[in-house]
Structure 1
């Protein structure tokens, strides 16, 4: 494949997703995502909102992949999302005979942006540990100390010291 234009958008679901089934039984979900870019103004020392960009989005089911139905069932107006998709240009002839065109995104992947989401009150709370966290085996059945993984040894590199 060549010539496709793929983009990643971080934004907010502008309207509740609407799922429809075409005669073949395939589902498509239509929704809009708005991204609100901000720019820091050095003269006023404040952040300024720039005009929002509205993206018409379509998510399709494909075989056993139920993207359209999952978007319709799990996203709602106001959800912060990160999506990856292909820009497609739709061309049609209007009633006045003029050709019209508009861009839309064919969604390949989408998920909630958890930087801004608030946990629902009925969600399972985060686990609390009394054993000092990862790698501390004080209350564990395993009596061997944790020595591997994520850079705990100076010679391993990674995230550790």
Structure 2
């Protein structure tokens, strides 16, 4: 038996990075800060999230920096070769299957107003 399930709740670290492909596929990448309680302070752990298709479109339309979200997915690793050094690199990524928009509507409206204000 094997099991690969990750469940996280936290705040989005930046606006979604969305890419549309000619095939019709959509991918959305985000960072998520999840507080880890220590004796002195809450320290955030940062996670890279990857969403595809309908989930990616929902994130692109409704998620902004600071949004409180919950995700459920699986852990995977992206591998690549560094162009400058030729060294093999990797990073852990959460492949999101379920996205929950948390927080109040007021929080979301404030985040949207903040994002609009920051654009000017």
Instruction: Give me the TM-score of the superposition, normalised by structure 2.
Output: 0.79
SS at the partner of 1:51?
strand
Unaligned runs of 5+ in 2: 110-120
Unaligned runs of 5+ in 1: 42-47, 123-161
- Of 46, 49, 56, 2:48 maps to 56
- Of 113, 119, 136, 2:106 maps to 119
Contact 1:4–1:87 at 8 Å: present in 2 too? no
Higher relative contact order (CA 8 A, sep 6+): 2
Structure 1 pair 4/91, CA: closer, same or farther in 2 (3 Å)?
farther
Query: Hey, what does 1:74 align to over in structure 2?
Result: 62
Displacement after TM superposition at 1:90 (Å) = 0.8
CA distance in 2, matches of 1:85, 1:8: 7
The 5 Å alignment of 1:6-155 reads 6-39=5-38, 41=39, 48-61=40-53, 66-95=54-83, 96-114=85-103, 117=104, 119=106
Displacement after TM superposition at 1:23 (Å) = 2.5
Q: Which has the higher helix share?
A: 2
Instruction: Give me the TM-score of the superposition, normalised by structure 1.
Output: 0.60
Note the aligned Cα RMSD (angstroms): 2.0
SS at the partner of 1:67?
helix
Q: Which has the higher strand share?
A: 2
- How many residue pairs were aligned? 107
